[in-house]
Amino acid sequence: MIKIYHNPRCSKSRQGLAILEASGKSFETIKYLENNLTSVELQDIIIKLGIKPIDLIRKNEAIWKSEYKGKSLTDNEIIAAMVNHPKLIERPIVINDDKAVIGRPPEAIKDII
């Protein structure tokens, strides 16, 4: 099952959702700002993406700049920051079985569907 971690207020996330809708494949939309992800879920996503937790952070968010920027954080602390402040999570994220991609640019989603 394909999943998209989606923020309706984000233009790139809306474009990613449109790509999935146009594909004709069934998928699940997860509005991660309304249904917070757990640290276990985030760890699973990070493993599927094949990245470090810091690479999933939106570093231009005000909360990152004011609370975390410049600090030496462990991977677990970075994941905890995303659990506590889901706005920090880069979007959209699309998962298809064991493959995952951050939809920036949104066309990258086509590579895994």
Q: What is the pLDDT along the chain (113 residues), one digit of tens a residue?
A: 999 999 999 999 999 999 999 999 999 999 999 999 999 999 999 999 999 999 999 999 999 999 999 999 999 999 999 999 999 999 999 999 999 999 999 999 999 99
pLDDT of residue 82: 98
pLDDT tens column, 86-112 = 999 999 999 999 999 999 999 999 999
Q: How far is CA 98 from the centre of its chain?
A: 15
Provide the residue ranges of all domains of the chain, joining segments of one domain with +: 2-111
The catalytic residue positions are 10
Alpha helices in 6-74, H assignment, sequence order? 11-23, 39-49, 62-67
Which helix (H) or strand (E) element contains residue 98? none
- Are 94 and 100 contacting, i.e. CB atoms less than 8 angstroms apart? yes
Q: What is the mean pLDDT of the chain?
A: 97
CA-to-CA distance for 35 and 56, rounded, in angstroms? 18
The residues facing 89 across adjacent strands are 57
Does the domain at 2-111 match CATH 3.40.30.10? Answer given as yes
Q: Which residue has the tokens 């677990």?
A: 76
